[in-house]
Amino acid sequence: SQQGEEDPQALSIQEGENATMNCSYKTSINNLQWYRQNSGRGLVHLILIRSNEREKHSGRLRVTLDTSKKSSSLLITASRAADTASYFCATDWQGAQKLVFGQGTRLTINP
Burial 39-48 (b: 16+ CB within 10 A, else e): eeeebeebbe
Nearer to another protein, 64 or 101 (CB): 101
* Shortest Å, Cβ 40 to another protein: 7
Cis before 111 (ω within 30): no
Task: Name the minimum Å distance from CB 6 to another protein.
Answer: 8
Q: Nearest CA to 89 among 10, 25, 28, 26? A: 25
Nearer to another protein, 14 or 52 (CB): 52
Q: Considering beta carbons, is residue 78 or 96 the nearer one to another protein?
A: 96
Measured from the CB atom, the residue of 2 and 28 that comes closer to another protein is 2
- Which residue ranges make up the site for another protein (CB under 8 A)? 2, 4, 30-31, 33, 35, 40-45, 48, 88, 90, 92, 96-104
Query: Which amino acid is located at 8 in the chain?
Result: P
Nearest approach, Cβ of 16 to another protein (angstroms)? 28
Q: Cα separation of 49 and 72, whole Å?
A: 9
